[in-house]
Amino acid sequence: MLGAEETNASTEALRLAAYAKYKPLYYWDTVQKLQISGTEWRLLISADVDDMDESHFLGVIEKWTLAAEMVIPPIKETEIVSTSTSTETSSNLGTEIKRVSRKLVPKRKDKDSVLNEEVVVSRHGASVYAEFIPQVHHPTELPFYYPKVYSYAFGYLVSEEDDSCDSRKIAILVRELTVGSAMSTKTQQVIWQDMIKRLYKWMVTERIGYQKHMTGDVVVNYEQYKAKYDELKQKYALQWVNNWPEKTDPQKFVYEDIAIASWLICLWKQDEAHNSKPPTFVDLGCGNGLLVYLLNSEGYHGYGIDQSARSIWTKYGSQVDLRAQTLEPYNFTTSADWIIGNHADELVPWIPIIAAQSGTTDSKFVVIPCCPHGLSGKKIDLKTAAGESRYYAYLAYITELAEQCGFELEREFLRIPSTKNVAIVGRRRTSDARQVDIAKLMELGKQGFAPRIPDAARIKTHLAKARQRNRNNHKSND
């Protein structure tokens, strides 16, 4: 299957076991001061890493130094200016062994300036440190994303207790502008927590090795996707983030749907090279409908169906076709070229079947599975192998159903703010698949399928039951 790699279950099990040992200590409320080479530092977080050595720490630091964008989202790219090595120069953290001058190029070039930064790797006794020093004349010049410090450092700390035993920790240390400036807000604390957790996990990867479950940018070229994403973000992001009427988080849903729309458009452009017109689509379980709106706005004709209408639907205008409808998937077919199922819950396993049943071998689909549902519409508990996640097992379940319907499948790891970010694409048929076999799948699912009760009806039922309970309580008190 394109885009997929086999899971190394034993390696994954080792990694999960290592993750379970992660128990950091946070020093938010007490000032823990350390004197290292004559410089005073404040310790923010530490975590034991007794089964990881210096090479694992330095391997992660090397990656982070060459590509800051991997750990600092507002950074677009890292430009290395110079690299030097020395074993004689003193630093804030001991004897300097390597220095890298780099430029951090921001994504928002119109708002943020390029930051020059020095990364200094030093040794102090058996410990090793990587210090990050912003090159600014005054702290007010620090970018919004940068901690309010003179410098910060990651440390691999070795405390030698005797000749045969030592204690190893990783830590984050800072030279603060003022007491508490590095962690004065909850957001800053969360960032530091995320950084040391990443450091720990990446060191585990350095020690154990890594085998990807999924490779990205296989179905759609990254540069084409990125160009389209930047274009759509510029056109739509602020408009909807600033005017989001739903209770959900616009920062997540707006950017996620822009990313999915960008990826779909790039995918469909591949087919347009062989067709005279853009493809049509139907989005099953369309939710807030923003994905339908974006695709319509970009010239793709299609509509969305969801169990219940959302308040935001009225904001899109009458040209966007969104339908409140409870589907019986075994009775649904479509003439659309593409069927979309983005976190469509109980409809996801039905979408390959609907595509196979819709009367043409040209019907295609893309699903982004989320919560595991079977053909009955109910949640299912799938067996997992050692080191295998429930999500990965669900992807395998959907894959098996789609292959039974005669589809040749592709997978893609999507760049969206969701942990459920794998797209399964069926746009080619390996065979017509015997209709009798597809009919058996439909009948199997139909027998136990119970359509979800619409939100409005469910709320109405709950209110009626609550009123009845109140009446019963009043009677019992009389």
Place of tokens 């009043």: 474
Give span(s): CATH 3.40.50.150, the chain.
Answer: 222-457
Q: Whole-angstrom Cα distance, residue 412 to residue 263?
A: 10
Strand partners, 84: 99
Cβ contact 131:99 at 8 Å? no
Are residues 308 and 456 in contact, defined by beta-carbon separation less than 8 angstroms? yes
For 422-448, the pLDDT digits (tens) are: 999 999 887 667 776 787 888 877 887
Pairing verdict, β 115-124 and 32-36: unpaired
Query: What residue has token string 């600033």?
Result: 242
Structure-token match 């999924």, residue found: 214
Q: Kindly report whether the global pTM for this prediction surpasses the value 0.85.
A: no
What is the Cα–Cα distance from 81 to 64, expressed in whole angstroms? 15
Q: What is the CATH number of domain 222-457?
A: 3.40.50.150
Of 149, 79, 74, 152, nearest to 112 by C-alpha is 74
Question: What single-letter amino acid sits at 186?
Answer: K
In this prediction, residue 6 carries a pLDDT of 39
- Decide: 279 and 337 in contact? Cβ < 8 Å: yes
Q: What is the pLDDT, as a whole number, of residue 2?
A: 34
For CATH 3.30.530.20, the residue range(s) in the chain are 9-208
Is the domain spanning 9-208 CATH 1.20.1630.10? The answer is no
Residues 6+ apart with CB under 8 A from 467: none
Q: What is the DSSP letter of 278?
A: P
Determine contact, residues 461/455, Cβ cutoff 8 Å: no
Question: Are 343 and 328 a contacting pair, CB within 8 Å?
Answer: no
367, 353 Cβ separation under 8 angstroms: no
Exposed/middle/buried for 356, CB within 10 Å: 0-12, 13-18, 19+? buried
User: What share of the chain in percent tops pLDDT 90?
Assistant: 51
Q: Retrieve residue 391's tokens.
A: 């999500």
**DSSP run (H or E) holding 105:** strand 94-106
Please state whether beta strands 302-306 and 281-284 pair in parallel, antiparallel, or not at all (unpaired).
parallel
Q: Are 405 and 352 in contact (CB under 8 A)?
A: yes
CA distance linking residue 74 with residue 34, whole number of Å: 31
pLDDT tens, position by position, for the chain (478 residues)? 333 333 455 676 777 888 889 999 999 988 899 999 999 999 999 999 988 889 999 999 999 999 998 889 889 899 999 999 877 788 888 899 999 999 999 988 888 889 999 999 999 988 999 999 999 999 889 998 899 999 999 999 998 654 445 689 999 999 999 888 888 788 889 899 999 999 999 999 888 875 544 556 789 998 999 999 999 999 999 999 999 999 888 888 999 999 999 999 999 998 776 677 889 999 999 999 999 999 999 999 999 999 889 999 999 999 999 999 988 898 899 999 999 999 998 999 999 999 988 865 578 999 999 989 988 888 888 887 766 778 888 999 999 999 988 899 999 989 887 778 899 999 988 766 777 678 788 887 788 777 666 655 556 666 667 677 777 776 666 6
Q: Give the Å distances, CA to CA, from 465 to 124, 469, 472.
A: 69, 6, 10
Rounded Cα gap, residues 458 and 287, in angstroms? 17
Strands, E assignment, 135-266: 149-160, 166-176
Question: Looking at 318-469, which runs of residues are DSSP E strands?
Answer: 321-324, 338-342, 364-368, 407-413, 422-429
What pLDDT is stored for residue 319 in this prediction? 92
